[in-house]
Structure formats: C-alpha cells, structure tokens
Chain A
Amino acid sequence: MPPETGSVQDSGNGISDKEILIGSSLALGGHAGYLGTQMIQGAMSYLIHINQQGGVHGRNIRLVVMDDGYNPSQCLYNTQQLILEKKVFALFCYVGTPTTVRIIPLINEAGIPLVGMFTGAQRLRQPVNPFLINIRASYYQETQAAVDLIVKRKGLTRVAVFYQYDEYGFDGLRGTEIALKNHDLVPVAKGSYVRGTLDVEAGLTQIVRSDAQAVVMIGTYDSCAKFIRLARQQNFTPLFHNVSFVGSKELARRLGPDGEGVIVTQVVPPPSSDPAREDLPGVKEYVRLLNRYYPDSRASFVGLEGYINAKILVEGLERSGRNLTRQSFIRAIKSVNDFDLGIKNRLSFGPNDNQGLDQVYYTVIRNGNLVLLP
C-alpha cells in the first residue's frame, strides 16, 4: 500500500507550543521486557537531558510509552491508541520484528514516521518506506557477518540455524541462508521454537543430530540461553552465534559459565559500565547520562541503541525547525549525512537509504562479560 502522506498529518499531530508528543509501544514486561526497559531508559536518558536544556526549538519532548509485552496484537492496539487517541507526532523505539511489522499498515495509513526500531528485519528496509527510519544494521548484515566469521575465519562448514518461529526468526533464517549460499553452503539443520515459549528441545535434537559445527541463533535471550545450556549438558559444543536482538548482557548473565565463547554480533560498540574507561565519546556520554537519570540501571547494547535513537530523533526535530510537520521531519532525518555520534562509525541516510548505520561488531562472552572479538 503506498504511503498516504499529506492527508491527515496536519490535524492533531501531537505538536503544541510547548510540547512534542512522541509515542512508543514496546515490551516493558514479559520474556522480552529487558529489551524494552533497557531501550527506553537509554532513550529517556538523552531526552530528559535535552528537555532539561530547554527542549527542541522551545518544545519539550514527551514520550508516551505503552507496554505491548512483545505481543504483536497488543502492539497494534497500542499503536492505534497512540495515533488515534494520544495523537502523537511520531512513533519511536519499537522493539521486535513481529510487533513492528504488524503496524506497518497503520503507519502507512496515518503517514506517521517511526524512528528507531530494535529489529534488523528486512521487511522494514526493503522496499524503502519513507515513514520507517531504521538506524541499526539489518539482520541480513548481522547474519552475513556471522557466516563470514564462521566460514571464513573459523573455517567451519557445517552450519545449523536455530530460530524463533515468527517474522524475526524467518528474517534471520533467510539472511543466514543467503550468506551461506554465497559460500555454496546450505544449513545442515534448522530448529525452531514458538515465540514466548521455551520449547527448544525439539529444535535442539534436530541440530544435535546434524552434528553441526556452528549454530546461528535468531531468538531471544531466554530461549537461546536454555538452548545453549541444554546443548552443553549434552556435550554438544559447536560455535554458538547470536544476533544483537538476543539481548547479549542478559544472555551472558543467564548463561553464566555456560556462556563462555558464545559469540554475539552487535550493531553498536560494547559499552563499558564505567564511563572513565570508555574510549568512545558517544558511549561515554550515554553511560554518563544513564548513570545520572537511571542510577540503578547498567549500560547495555540495547540501551546504547535507544540512546542513539533518541539522538537521531532530536537531530531530526532540530533540523526541522520550529514549523514542524511530519513531512519536514522525515525530510530533515533523510538529510542527516555523515553524522558523528561519537561511536567511531558515522551515521548516514539518503534518499533511498533508510538505515543509518551499517557496522556490525563481533563480541564474545568472556567471564560473563561481552568483549569485542579481536
């Protein structure tokens, strides 16, 4: 469905003299609650910081956050409420592939921009939709990097895929298969589980039977942690490779010693909990602001992503000026080019590029901590 722009955005678009209303539906509880919480804290750290400095062009940014519990139906309902009842100006910081994919029709119908999704799903990137503003690298890029690492650097050819049986998992599976195909390989086994459950045993059995040398895992931290633990109990120890959505800190925490050697690709550099030891200025600022506004929280990859999302949102609003419309906002975001986030890799959008960052980082769990793979 082609995006309907211009027809509805001027009435009740969430902009008042003092305030810009931004809506967000994400998992604050349930099995993916960690992701949403981390993300919103990272984002809020920066937004509170901006509001305290007087907001953007004299307007404070108010975030309306609704919990969808990683449930697509709930996410859809929330989004309808945000657009119809709350009349937010833009949507922001959605978490998860099935949830975000579910609301694409609403975004198109309402012509409302969505900035920063914690998902690398291809559906949000191709075909290019002007309302969807991606910031992080895609799952295709992450799985490509994973396969490159497994096949090229480790020289392993027997690769299995373990995935969540929904949009997110399918997306990762496709990416892995495409990447393997470039090496003339196919997955030796595929195992899956249903979202929101921990029923990983059937998938594990299939993968164990295939005697895979490496397993690319596209799932959430709870299921993947269980899978790895159960595998180790069976003395099945291939190279476990997760993608960023897994929530690496939580994964590492849950696995404990079992997590040793598990690789996780990241789309942002790993933040260290102590700002003094941080090299990158952007990460340093994130840790600083998080520690100020959420002293109980610890810096994480997901949080850093939320923080970066907030920075881009603010940058877009800044560039749009005082006479803000959804269209001018989208144009402003698209004009962001070679933008320094202070994380070494610069951010760029383009007319046909609705994804700001392309960098993928390899991290490995060492003693319960995630460190960059040398």
Chain B
Amino acid sequence: MTPFSHLTLKNKIFISCLGVTLLVSIIIALFTRSLLISSLTRELKNRGIGIAQSIADSSRVFILTDNRAELTSLAYDARYGNRKDLVKYLIISDNSGNMLAHTFTTGFVGPIKTIVKQQPVNDVSIKNLEMGPHWVFHITVPVTEGIYTIGSIQMGLDKQHIDNLIAQLRWIFLSFLSMVTLIFFFLSHRLALFITRPIASLIRYTDLLTQGNFDIIDSQSFQTLKHEIKTRNDEISKLTDSFIKMTARLRDSTRSLKDSQKKYRSLFKSGPNPIFVVEKTTFDILDANPNATELFGYTRQELVRMTLFDLGDLDTASVEGEPFNPETRVHRSKVRFFKKNGDAVFVNIHTSPAEYAKEDVIIVGTTDITELVEKDSQLIQASKMANLEKMSAGIAHEINQPLNAIKMGSEYLCMIYEKKQTVPPENLNMVITEISSQVTRAAEIVSRLKSFSRKVDFSRELVNVNTCILSVHKIIGRQITLQNIDLSLELDKKIAPILAHNNRLEQVLFNLITNARDAINERIETMNLTDPGKIIIKTFSINDHVGIDIEDNGTGIDPAITESIFESFYTTKPMGEGLGLGLPIIKGIVKDYNGTIAVSSRPGRGTVFKILFPAYTGSHFSKELITP
C-alpha cells in the first residue's frame, strides 16, 4: 500500500493532473535551459561580431587617415547604439595594438590596454575576460586593407546583460509555467470535483440509507442531485441513475418488509397460541407473545430471563427418540409445561428455525392441550371402570379365595378352641402363617385394584414392560386360568426400559388380555371347540425398540374390519357389553409414548397384537429417572 492509495479519489485525480503538469513544466524548463539559453548566448555573440565587423568596415578609411575624432564617433555610435546594453566597450586599435579610439569616458577598466595589445588581430576571436567587476566576452575583429591587417575592432559584450536576458527569459518561462500550473491546478481541482462530488454525495446518501433513512429520496437535495446528473451523460450520471433506481427499489422493498414485519408482529401478538422465540443453542427465551404470558402466568420480562427448559419437560422429549433438533421443523405432542403457580400445562410444540434480530433462533409455537389431555384421561378412566365392572366377578372371586382360606384357618382354630384341644404348634404356626399370607394376598389385590383404578395424569417415567405384564398378570391371571385359558408369559429379561406410564401401560395390557379372553370364550361358545384357550404374552428387543406380542387362539378378526377396529365406538360385541372405546384408547396411549400397535389375525385361528415402543437409550436424564 503506497501512501497514494490511501488518498481519496478526488486527491488522486488532482495530484495526478498536477504531477503531469509539473513534469511537463520541468521538461520544458530543462529544454529551454539547455537549448534556448545556449542558442541565445551564441546569437548574442554573433550579434557582437556583426557589430564589430560593421564598425571594422566603417573605420577602415579613418584608420588609414588616423582620424581619431571619427573613429571615436564610430566607437561611441556602437557603444550607445541599439545594442548599448550589450556592448560594454569598443576599442579601435592599429595593427600593433595601440588604441586609436575607445569608449572609455571616465577611465580604463582593468588592464585593458595590455589586453588590447596582446590580442592577435588577424583573426576573429572571442575570449572570456574579467573586466573590473564584470565578465565580458572580448571580441576581436580585424580591420583589413587588401590582404593585410591594418587594425582591429575589440569589443566587450556585457555578460551581465546576457545573464540578465537569460534571467528575464527564465522569469518569463517561470511565470508562464506557474500560470499554466496554476490554471491546471484550478482545472484539475475542478475536474476532480466534477468527478468526485456526485460520488461524494452518493456516499453520503448511501450512509443515510444504511441508517434506514429512506426519506432522503424525496428530499430537496436529492432531487437537485437527480436534476444535476440529468444534464450530463457520462459514467457518473449512469452510476447515479442506477443508484437512484436502486434506492427507490430498496425503499419499496424495505417498506414491504416493514409491512410484512408489522403483519407478522401482529400475528405473533394476536395469535391464539403461545409463541416463544428462543435462542438456537442455549434455548434462552428471547421473546414471547402475550398469549404465552397469559398461559404461563409469567410476565414477558420474567420469561426472557428463562430458558425454554425452565418451563417444562422439554428435554424429556428427547428420551423418546431423536434429540430436539432445532434445524428442522419438529412437532412434539403432550409436553408437560408448568405455570408460574406450579400447575401443569400440556402443550403440543411446533418448532421452526428462523432468524430474529440477526440471531439464529427457533420459533416455538405451543398449543395448550391440557383440556384435551384431561378429557383423554377421563375417557381412559371410564374405560378402565368399564373393565373393572366386567372383571368385578372375577376379582371378587380372587378376593374370596384368600378370604375362604382365612375363614378355613380361623374355623379350624375356633374348632380346636371349642374342643379345648391344643393346637399342635406346627399346625398353629402353619395356620397363622397361611392367614397372614392370605391377608397379604388380598391386600395386594386391593392395592393393585386401587392403583389400577386411580386416575393418572399424563406424565412419563421409566417403565420396564415386564413389570407391567407381571402386575396385570397378578390381577387377572388367576381369573383367566379359572376360565380354562392357558396364560403363558415369555418374557425377555434383558429388554430396555421405555418412557411411558406404568398405569396406562397396564391398562393397555389389561384391555388386550381381556379382549383375547373374550375372543377365546367366543370361539369356544360359537364353535364348540374343545381345544383349550391359550394366551401368550411375549416381550422382546428389536432394533432399539421394545416389543410386546399378545397372541391368542380366539376367533380372530375378519381382515375386512382390521382397519376399523382402532376407530372409536367400533365394537363387535353385543349391545351393552362393550363401550367401543378399547382399541382406539389403546392406540392413543401407545401413540402418546411414541409407540406403534399392529394387528395380524387369521379368523378362526387367532390374533396377534404387536406393540413396539422406542427403547430408552439412557442418554437423557430426567427427574422421573432419578426417582422412578
């Protein structure tokens, strides 16, 4: 980077023009000095010789007649003639160097007499001599008569005069060049301004535009610039024209951008759903619309100091499958958030990446589905109750069995007491232990019933599917066995936990097992087949998923209706027996935990329900994980 490149365009043009002018001036000056001055000196010397020769011609007759008055007159004519500034002195001498006439009025200068005497008079000669304070060109010209020299004209050309002429010439040139330079200074200044002034105003206007000030387009000065530029037709005018067009275009697009911003801002503000703007990596809340503050009870100021994770179980969601990826549009359903007062709110989440105030952000739209979840729970509860009702006979039997055992034990003890016999200690111990164990058994059944019938909220926890199966088996296993159905469990003990809710999962299993039982009973009744009913429950791991198969050898499902069995209120059971809410609810629950349910059936041979849940890989932790 040279210092030149740091200059403004104006100064570059200015300095370039000036530089060229100065260079040309200097070249002219040097040319003048070398050529003009030497030729001037030569010319003046020739003039001097010319004068001397004309004097020589005129003086010949007077030298011959020794007419000193006329010779003096001639000498003075030359000395004070047209060339009086050039001719410093003039001497007419005879051939032996004696002065006949001269122009020294007030006295001889220097050793002039000796010099005159010493000059060879036969040839024209020029010598550089010092005469007193002056330097002169001493010119000698012979005066001849025939072929012989009779005298000489000796003349001093004032060097001072020649120098003065040269100095004068230099001054004229210098002033001329100065004037040219001055004119060029002015012209190049004007030229630079002519080029750069519109550019400078363009820069000024661009700066204003950068600050978002588009009003300048309509300002007086901008219109003046526009008008001025129209009068010229060069690159600058084209540039300015393009700039004006660009500015107008920019203003229009900025206006429409502003309009759309306004539109989206009003959508953001008045949208029915809570919307958050969160930072892409830290999930800091940057903005939230009034609905968000309304729903969650935080003020906007409070919200912007929180992260999205502070609001709810968002990171839990990542346990279920792919991590929360802000790059893509993500949809999460039934995420539990908490209000400021601690109340849980269930929301569906839609995210989409966006840019907000020049930051990469995620727009998080939430839909409050708390009410929906509540309804869901109620529906599930209702279904549960219906199931319980159906099972109440079996359950009663289940409870009666221990009660009978207790009664038998206590009657034995009473009988012994009435007979005043002593109970052998081993019998007493056996009876008491049995009673206690039967009470425990009954209590367990009651407890399970209680827990089964409990209305649960929508939350996720780590659940081992095997535990659920065993729990359900405990409630209805005996009942099923009593109906001569073989319920066998083939559980894979190494399966991974899943994120779900125990109670709900139990309900799913419960429903499916009772369905299987019903199918088997139906087959036995309708087909009068004697081969025993069989229900097999399997668990297994497959491709990061945990699978449950519930297989029966009941009536099977007509392939024509396999599509509709998961629809609400569809039932194959006689009026009053089923609510038709079973399979749709099951499907809903499975879906809530990101699972799938499929059915394969051969009518008359049996049905297999296959459920797959994503296995919990354990990379994300939650509160529930620590205290399952």
Report A's interface with B, CB cutoff 8 A. Answer: 1, 8, 11-12, 68, 71-74, 76-78, 80, 83-84, 102, 105-106, 109-110
Contact = CB atoms under 8 A, between A and B. Distances in A.
B107 A106 contact: no
B73 interface: yes
B73 A8 contact: no
Contacts of A106: 76, 105
A74 B80 contact: no
Contact of A109 (B68, B69, B106): B106
Given A1-B84, A105-B76, A105-B80, A73 B105 contact: no
A77 B104 contact: no
A72 B105 CA distance: 16
A110 B72 contact: no
A84 B68 contact: no
20 contacts: A73-B69, A73-B70, A73-B72, A73-B73, A74-B69, A76-B69, A76-B72, A76-B73, A76-B76, A77-B72, A77-B73, A77-B101, A78-B69, A80-B76, A84-B105, A84-B107, A102-B73, A105-B76, A105-B80, A110-B105
Given A1-B84, A105-B76, A105-B80, A77 B69 contact: yes
B106 A8 contact: yes
Given A84-B104, A102-B76, 7 more contacts: A8-B106, A72-B73, A74-B69, A76-B72, A76-B76, A84-B107, A109-B105
A87 to B, nearest CB: 9
Nearest to B73: A73
B107 to A, nearest CB: 7
B68, B72, B79, B101: most-surrounded residue (chain A CB, <10 A) = B72
A133 B451 CA distance: 155
Contacts of A8: 106-107
* 3 nearest CB pairs, A to B: A73-B73, A77-B69, A74-B69
Contacts of A102: 73, 76
Interface string B63-104: 000001110110010011000100000000000000001001
Interface in B32-83: 68-70, 72-73, 76, 79-80
Contacts of B104: 84
A94 to B, nearest CB: 15
Contact of A83 (B68, B73, B84, B105): B105
A80 B107 contact: no
A77, A102, A110: most-surrounded residue (chain B CB, <10 A) = A77
B106 A110 contact: yes
Contacts of A109: 105-106
A197 to B, nearest CB: 18
A84 B70 contact: no
B79, B80, B84: most-surrounded residue (chain A CB, <10 A) = B80
A105 B80 CA distance: 7
B76 A71 contact: no
Interface string B206-224: 0000000000000000000
Nearest to A7: B106
Contacts of A83: 105-106
Contacts of B79: 105
A77 B107 contact: no
Contacts of B73: 72-73, 76-77, 102
Nearest to A106: B105
A339 B309 CA distance: 131
Nearest to A9: B106
A102 B81 CA distance: 12
Interface in B171-223: none
A228 to B, nearest CB: 32
A73 B120 CA distance: 29
A98 to B, nearest CB: 11
Nearest to A79: B105
A24 B69 CA distance: 16
Nearest to B72: A77
Contacts of A80: 72, 76, 105
A326 to B, nearest CB: 12
B79, B106, B107: most-surrounded residue (chain A CB, <10 A) = B106
A74 B101 CA distance: 12
Interface in B295-311: none
A284 to B, nearest CB: 40
A12 B107 CA distance: 10
A282 B105 CA distance: 37
A26 to B, nearest CB: 14
B239 to A, nearest CB: 66
Nearest to B80: A105
B69 A71 contact: yes
Nearest to A12: B107
B383 to A, nearest CB: 139
A68 B106 CA distance: 20
A108 to B, nearest CB: 9
Contacts of A1: 80, 84
Contacts of A78: 69
Contact of A84 (B69, B76, B84, B106): B106
Nearest to B68: A77
Nearest to A105: B80
A76 B70 CA distance: 9
A102 B106 CA distance: 17
A109 B71 CA distance: 19
A109 B109 CA distance: 14
Interface string B555-581: 000000000000000000000000000
A324 B135 CA distance: 34
A83 B70 CA distance: 18
A12, A73, A74: most-surrounded residue (chain B CB, <10 A) = A73
A83 B107 CA distance: 9
A183 B117 CA distance: 62
A11 B106 CA distance: 9
Contacts of A110: 105-106
A85 B207 CA distance: 91
A131 B104 CA distance: 19
A102 B105 CA distance: 14
Contacts of B84: 1, 105
Nearest to B71: A77
B80 to A, nearest CB: 4
B72, B73, B104, B105: most-surrounded residue (chain A CB, <10 A) = B105
A120 to B, nearest CB: 23
Contacts of B105: 80, 83-84, 106, 109-110
Contacts of A84: 104-107
A168 to B, nearest CB: 17
A195 B104 CA distance: 28
Contacts of A77: 68-69, 72-73, 101
A86 to B, nearest CB: 12
A1 B80 CA distance: 9
A100 to B, nearest CB: 14
A169 to B, nearest CB: 20
A88 to B, nearest CB: 12
Nearest to A107: B105
A83 B72 CA distance: 14
A71 B70 CA distance: 10
A134 B76 CA distance: 24
Interface string B397-431: 00000000000000000000000000000000000
